Amino acid sequence: MEVLVQGLTPVPGEALGETYDLRGLKCPLPVLKTRKRLKSMETGASLTLETTDPLAGIDIPHFCSQDGHVLLSSERTETGHRFVIRKG
């Protein structure tokens, strides 16, 4: 099931930016590592996150809102979540 945030629909190829595998990491590491990765990226670049931490479904959207990034999509996967973020 895919949840769209801020009324946006995924753009074809949007997830073709970087993919960051954060599976196996527990809170707060997924957010901390995402913040660090995004700092090294250009504004407007997209980053796909793969997580298994159950709290990531709350933490990643909150992080995006607080840090000025756009959460393009949030999807539950078989083992966790997949997020697509556009750096703000």
Active-site residue numbers?
27
How do strand 46-51 and strand 18-22 relate by DSSP bridges? parallel
CB 56 within 8 A of CB 81: yes
Radius of gyration over alpha carbons of the chain, in Å? 12
